[in-house]
Amino acid sequence: MAALADYSRNEDNEVNGWIRFGMRLGVSAALHPFEYSKTLIQIGYEPIGARPGKSMLGRPVMLLPNIFQYIGHIKRVDGFYGCYRGLAPKLAGSVLSMVVSERVAEKLGLAYQEDKDESELSEEENYVQFKYNLKRDIVLTVSGIVVSHPFHVISLRMMAQFVGRETLYNSILGSIAEIWTSEGILGFFAGLIPKLLCDVACLVLSSSSVFIVNKYFIKDKVARQYNASLTGFAFSSLLYPLQVVSTCSSISGSRLMAGQPPIMPKYSSWVDCWNDLQSRRELKRGSSLFWRTQAVYSSTVPTSFAPLPTLSRYQ
């Protein structure tokens, strides 16, 4: 009877897991136009010119279109369904990541275990539970990213076609053939290393910080939930430049206009991409989606002409 009860409980957990995963896919699909716009911003494409304005402190700035104006521009050019370009490979990659990562975790002896209440555990047992969950999450993250990255690259390149109006990446099979022919197998994993570094570092840093803070400073359950969310957001913001580097590296070197000079240099590696974006102070582009500005500076060198404004890099 006990074995039957455990089997039934595992079945219920698996069903609930798939229901939650389906809901996440639905939300991801609904928000895809925002990710589409953010991707174009990350690769440096600005189809709408900046306009003069003022900051909250009254300083003159150049205002760039926010994320809603950007989506509106895509819709005007490609229509409603055009806002969902790249969604199919993105969802396919998510499903593949979910299935494969769980199987890998099970093979490594890190199957899902329902967490016990920390109040019922000793300090040592709590630490053992934390280590188990962290190892499982790292395995899920790494295996999920690696197996789904080719679909991620295809999705990014489908969206980047908006810049040059190409039709090289119109379907998943056609995109696979294009990458295999022009770049070989390494093309499917362009931008993989910075993406892995970003996601794994964010996971380890946020999980460890939350565990330490909750252990020594926060005892209230509601406060712990807020702490986990804020900590994850803080480390995600800190590591955001790696997301930009991964996106640019995934597109650079392709036959798309967005991935070729003069729009984008042909990077030899993701480190080369990082150094180039850092030298131009563009590692944070796309980090601000609702209030996007360019500061205006005046020249301090006296001339006989009115000084021209100098625009800083966009965010």
Bigger pLDDT: 58 or 52? Answer: 52
Give pTM, 2 decimals: 0.88
Average pLDDT over residues 199-221: 93
In this prediction, residue 238 carries a pLDDT of 97
Asked if the model's pLDDT at residue 136 lies above 50, the reply is yes
Measured in whole angstroms, how far is the alpha carbon of residue 178 from the centre of its chain? 24
Average pLDDT over residues 140-169: 97
Q: What percentage of residues in the chain have a pLDDT greater than 70?
A: 89
| Neighbouring C-beta atoms of residue 188, cutoff 10 Å | 19
Q: What is the DSSP string of the chain?
A: -HHHHHHHHHHHHHHHHHHHHHHHHHHHHHTHHHHHHHHHHHTT---S--EEEE-TTS-EEEEEP-HHHHHHHHHHHH-TGGGGTTHHHHHHHHHHHHHHHHHHHHHTT----PPPPGGGS-HHHHHHHHHHHHHHHHHHHHHHHHHHHHHHHHHHHHHHHHHHT--S-SSHHHHHHHHHHHT-GGGGGTTHHHHHHHHHHHHHHHHHHHHHHHHHT---HHHHHHHHHHHHHHHHHHTHHHHHHHHHHHHTTSSSGGGSTTTS---SSHHHHHHHHHHTT-TTTTS-SSSEEEEEE---S--SSPPPPEEPPP-
Longest dimension (CA), the chain: 93
Mean pLDDT lowest among 60-64, 125-129, 231-235:
60-64
Asked if the model's pLDDT at residue 5 lies above 70, the reply is no
Average pLDDT over residues 26-37: 96
How far apart are alpha carbons 175 and 181 in whole angstroms?
10
Asked if the model's pLDDT at residue 1 lies above 90, the reply is no
Q: pLDDT-derived band of residue 127, with 50, 70 and 90 as boundaries?
A: very high
How far apart are alpha carbons 294 and 241 in whole angstroms?
18
Q: pLDDT-derived band of residue 161, with 50, 70 and 90 as boundaries?
A: very high
In this prediction, residue 310 carries a pLDDT of 42
| Neighbouring C-beta atoms of residue 99, cutoff 10 Å | 13
AA letter at 102: E
Asked if the model's pLDDT at residue 180 lies above 60, the reply is yes
Phi, psi (rounded to 5 degrees) for 64 = -95, 155
Asked if the model's pLDDT at residue 14 lies above 90, the reply is no
Bigger pLDDT: 184 or 225? Answer: 184
- What confidence tens digit (pLDDT) does each residue in 260-285 have? 998 999 999 999 999 999 999 999 99
